Amino acid sequence: MAGYLLVALLCCLLRAEAFAPESRLTWQETDISLIRFQVQEVYNYSTLLLSEDKDILYIGAREVIFAVNAQNISEQKQEVYWKVAEVKSEECSRKGKSKQTECLNYIRVLQPFNETALFVCGTNAFQPMCDILELNSFKLMGKNEDGRGRCPFDPAQTYTSVMVDGDLYSGTSYTFLGSEPIICRHSQHLSYLRTEYAVPWLNEPRFVHADVIRAPVNNPEGDDDKIYFFFTEVSVEYEFFNKLLIPRIARVCKGDQGGLRTLQKKWTTFLKARLICHSPENNLIFNVVNDVFILKSPTLKEPIIYGVFTSHLNNVGMSAICSYSLSTVEDVFSKGKYMQSATVEQAHTKWVQFNGEIPKPRPGACINREAKEMNYTSSLNLPDKTLQFVKDHPLMDETVTPIGKRPKLVHQNVTYTQIVVDQVKALDGSSYDVMFISTDKGILHKAISNDLEMRIIEEIVLFPDHQSVQTLLLADKQSKRYIYAGSNTEVVQSPVAFCEKLTSCTECILTRDPYCAWHPVKNSCVHILEESNTDRLLIQELNGDASRCPDSADKGIRESMRYKVKAGSTVELKCSCKSKLASVFWTFNDETLNINPPKYLLHGTLMIINVTERDAGTYQCWSQESVMDKVFSQLVMKHVLEIEKTPLPLTSTTQSTTRREEPLETTRFHTVSKETTTKMSTTQAATAFVGVTQLNNKITPTISQMEVYSSMSDVGVGKALYLTNNNDCSLLIILVIIFFFLFLLLLTYNCYKGFLPTPCLKFRDAMMHGKKKTPLNLKDCEQGVKETLVEKVCTENQCGGAQKAPHDTGYETEPDCGNGNITHKDDDTTAENETDQPFDVKCEIKYADSDGD
Ligand SMILES: *[C@@H]1O[C@H](CO)[C@@H](O)[C@H](O)[C@H]1NC(C)=O
Ligand SMILES: *[C@@H]1O[C@H](CO)[C@@H](O)[C@H](O)[C@H]1NC(C)=O
């Protein structure tokens, strides 16, 4: 037993280290109203492009391109439809594609072309086409250029593209069947270049991202701008019983012009390497890259590459974020060893490290200082030796290892799809990389990770219908920062922080959001980038130390409620604690309330059963959260309960209880609220419990209406939205308890009748076995009740027989107790005080848990 616990504990500790904890806050659609863009009959909002100076967001969907206001995307400015010609559509469907879904024009490329035009490409019924979109008139120029190599044929195929100085670099597939992968450049003044169609170059890649990294000006190496591609492909270097997927980073140089004879019209600078995302603690390997974001901030020493990974190996259902520094990547390409294929046993090839002499200039390098010193000024005059080498050895042996040699974040039961990273300078002067990671279920996680911890500050429900997030875009230039997310059915715009929803100083600090700080004068939690020159005033403690908060106690009150109820009824008091990392406790007239059944039940809400005048007073619900070894409490809700004197006659009960018992009334409370929003319905503080009557048998329930006076504080509406109703759940629990008792009754009866020989035996065994020890705790007590009852009957009927292993009984009966979770919350004190248990059985009955091992 102890051993098992230890193992469980260890597992727990290990897990806590290896995986990110649950997000602290969750914002539902009802908490925050996000701005949405959706047009009837238009789907697949898959391409987003932001023009920051024009403040316009361009959206490429199926057969249409929109321009919307970037500050409020619901405000559409322009649109242009781009439909497939009927002949093309016919042709496409003749080739066996679906006319309704595939033979349409999915906009896949939306890139800035010049000041007044965009470059756009669409799948165009499996005949990809590109065009120029003139922005003033918002009309397509009808250029109808062949889009092969720039845009996929199949809308289901992956692709990526980036526009660099007017040239389009794209990773996609070149043919109708999608079998020929390609990374190519379409340029007006530079030559068209592409990858060699060969397995060592690209092997069934799934492209996810491409971006340019500019070489620093005046760098001594005389290096070139580089375009990086990220994809997952089938490994050539590893053997596996099946195709082994592997995440890759590849790069080409902007100044590449191809070779003169060898590698004519092909990249002479194409090199690729393996990206490592591996969690050494638990040996989890993440081998599929789903998205990449390159953080390029002027304050950063060098760009940081953030990748979102999942796995097809041992850890399906987990996702990880790994980050890489650009210098690590560059070192691999500029200094690392190459791989080469060696033929073993005839046709079988194996990839091994190349240890021979590497030709000069270094194969795959840009035309840098070294090449220029050797009088090579262009890739066109590079020696054949170098070119042939890079043609045969595009894969590096060295791997790109993540910063810190481990993932930044690992999360379970989630599939991350997209990532963007914002950098925010907190008031303490340090910069934080805030990761926004979307899931395939329409959720956005906002996470922070450093050497000490990884944590998810909050999760935002972007798409309540759980649509997968297809594309994510960050607008980070202004003080008003936004995240735009596209799905198959809509685009949504979300702010980067929800500071104003954090209503108390403690809550504002405990959230530890680098965007948020407490403004003592405004008495609200504010977005630091939207405030000016108040830095010294604002309170921001990213370590979560809320002790600087002025008078933290009362600020947290979201609601203060006043009820007047009749004696004998059951009252339910709500406590909505937003933080999932907090625990809740209650006070009654400023003293800690011991929540023991059957007087009190706690299940999200506090239930007070059979109220008497002594229960009148102030109930306060507190949330308690520990951050960095400190514990902070804040008042969440305050309820004032008044008991109405009732003229109802008192019924003396037959039970041996010291409390006065009054007819239990089934009551329905109505929250009388001054606000009229429909969302308030979820805040109804208390509801009826029909089932509670079972606890006081022989009393017929009557229904009476009761007035509940509710006084909402000014901020009540916003805060009220936090509340979710737990009433259904409480009712369920009550029902479970009833069924539990009914089951007991049935069991006793059946046992008495001798219908159930086996359980009887077990109870009997348990009884005999358990005489040795008598520790009394709650579980023992409960089981004691059950088992004694049965045992008595059993012995009378002599339903004993073959002995069973004693420890069987304990586990056999456990599920029965497990149903009524609430009853487990009581402790020794209940057992002593409580006498009105069903069947009037006392818990003191000497009885041991059969768990003798
Ligand atoms: C386009 O959207 C529709 C509607 O949600 C979806 O069923 C379909 O799979 C999407 N197609 C692509 C290629 O994303
Ligand atoms: C490069 O060219 C210059 C002049 O054209 C010549 O003087 C120099 O020796 C050459 N260097 C090499 C390494 O060939």
At 559 the pLDDT is 60
Question: How confident is the model over 583-629, as pLDDT tens digits?
Answer: 888 888 888 888 877 788 877 788 888 888 888 888 888 888 887 77
Q: How many CB atoms lie within 10 A of CB 558?
A: 27
Which of 38, 44, 45, 64 for a ligand 1 pocket mutation test, highest count of atoms within 8 Å of Cβ?
44
Under the banding of pLDDT at 50, 70 and 90, the label for residue 837 is: very low
Which residue is closest in CA terms to ligand 1's atom 7? 488
Statement: residue 839 has pLDDT above 60:
no
The minimum-distance atom of ligand 2 relative to the CA of 375 is 1
Under the banding of pLDDT at 50, 70 and 90, the label for residue 14 is: very low
222 CA to middle of ligand 2, Å? 18
102 CA to middle of ligand 1, Å? 9
At 329 the pLDDT is 96
Q: Confirm if 773 and 766 have CB atoms less than 8 A apart.
A: no
441 CA to middle of ligand 1, Å? 15
CB of residue 727 inside a 6 A radius of ligand 1? no
Q: Confirm if 304 and 321 have CB atoms less than 8 A apart.
A: no
375 CA to middle of ligand 2, Å? 6
Which residue is closest in CA terms to ligand 2's atom 6? 375
Question: How confident is the model over 380-395, as pLDDT tens digits?
Answer: 999 999 999 999 999 9
Pocket of ligand 2 (CB under 6 A): 374-375
225 CA to middle of ligand 2, Å? 26
Query: pLDDT > 90: what percent of the chain?
Result: 46
Give the ligand with the smallest distance to the CA of 375: 2
| 3-class SS of residue 621 | strand
Q: Which residues pair with 343 in a beta bridge?
A: 349
374 CA to middle of ligand 2, Å? 7
At 557 the pLDDT is 57
For residue 263, CA distances in Å to 162, 360, 395, 740 come to: 23, 17, 16, 78
683 CA to middle of ligand 1, Å? 37
Statement: residue 683 has pLDDT above 50:
no
Q: Confirm if 159 and 170 have CB atoms less than 8 A apart.
A: yes
At 211 the pLDDT is 97
Statement: residue 63 has pLDDT above 60:
yes
Give the ligand with the smallest distance to the CA of 370: 2
Distance CA 779, CA 182 (A): 66
| 3-class SS of residue 753 | helix
Distance CA 595, CA 587 (A): 10
Q: pLDDT averaged over the chain?
A: 77
Question: How confident is the model over 690-743, as pLDDT tens digits?
Answer: 223 233 333 323 323 232 323 333 222 222 222 233 344 456 667 777 777 787
Statement: residue 435 has pLDDT above 90:
yes
Residues 467/471/476/481 CA torsion (nearest 10 deg): -20
Question: How confident is the model over 71-117, as pLDDT tens digits?
Answer: 999 999 999 999 999 999 999 999 999 999 999 999 999 999 999 99
At 545 the pLDDT is 85
At 696 the pLDDT is 32
Q: Which residues pair with 322 in a beta bridge?
A: 307
| 3-class SS of residue 34 | coil
At 677 the pLDDT is 30
The arithmetic mean of pLDDT across residues 15-31, rounded, is 78
Q: With both helix axes pointing from N to C terminus, report the angle between 727-753 and 778-797 in degrees, rounded to the nearest 10.
A: 30
The minimum-distance atom of ligand 2 relative to the CA of 374 is 13
At 651 the pLDDT is 45
390 CA to middle of ligand 2, Å? 25
Question: How confident is the model over 221-241, as pLDDT tens digits?
Answer: 788 999 999 999 999 888 777
Query: pLDDT > 70: what percent of the chain?
Result: 73
At 239 the pLDDT is 76
Question: How confident is the model over 804-836, as pLDDT tens digits?
Answer: 333 433 333 333 333 333 334 334 433 344 334
Span between the terminal Cα atoms of the chain, in Å: 7
CB of residue 155 inside a 6 A radius of ligand 1? yes
Closest listed residue to residue 639, CA positions, set 667, 616, 670:
616
At 722 the pLDDT is 28
Statement: residue 134 has pLDDT above 60:
yes
Distance CA 798, CA 316 (A): 54
Which residue is closest in CA terms to ligand 2's atom 8? 375
CB of residue 463 inside a 6 A radius of ligand 1? no
Which residue is closest in CA terms to ligand 2's atom 2? 375
372 CA to middle of ligand 2, Å? 10
At 816 the pLDDT is 35
DSSP, residue by residue, 675-698: ---GGGGGG------SGGGGGSTT
At 707 the pLDDT is 28
The minimum-distance atom of ligand 2 relative to the CA of 373 is 13
CB of residue 43 inside a 6 A radius of ligand 1? yes
267 CA to middle of ligand 2, Å? 26
- More reliable by pLDDT, 495 or 725: 495
At 531 the pLDDT is 84
At 825 the pLDDT is 37
Which residue is closest in CA terms to ligand 1's atom 6? 488
Radius of gyration of the chain measured on its C-alpha atoms = 34
Distance CA 590, CA 593 (A): 9
| 3-class SS of residue 50 | strand
Q: How many CB atoms lie within 10 A of CB 425?
A: 14
At 818 the pLDDT is 33
Q: Confirm if 515 and 527 have CB atoms less than 8 A apart.
A: yes
CB of residue 620 inside a 6 A radius of ligand 1? no
Tokens of 156: 């289901």
418 CA to middle of ligand 2, Å? 50
| 3-class SS of residue 556 | coil
- Look at the block and give the residue holding tokens 């009866």: 749
Instruction: Kindly give, in sequence order, each residue whose CB lies less than 8 Å from that of residue 33, ignoring residues fewer than 6 positions away.
Output: none
Question: How confident is the model over 266-316, as pLDDT tens digits?
Answer: 999 999 999 999 988 888 999 999 999 999 988 888 999 999 999 987 667
The arithmetic mean of pLDDT across residues 358-366, rounded, is 92
Range with the lowest mean pLDDT among 330-334, 559-563, 625-629, 821-825? 821-825
pTM score above 0.85: no
Question: How confident is the model over 141-179, as pLDDT tens digits?
Answer: 998 899 999 999 999 999 999 999 999 999 999 988 888
- More reliable by pLDDT, 338 or 505: 338
At 757 the pLDDT is 56
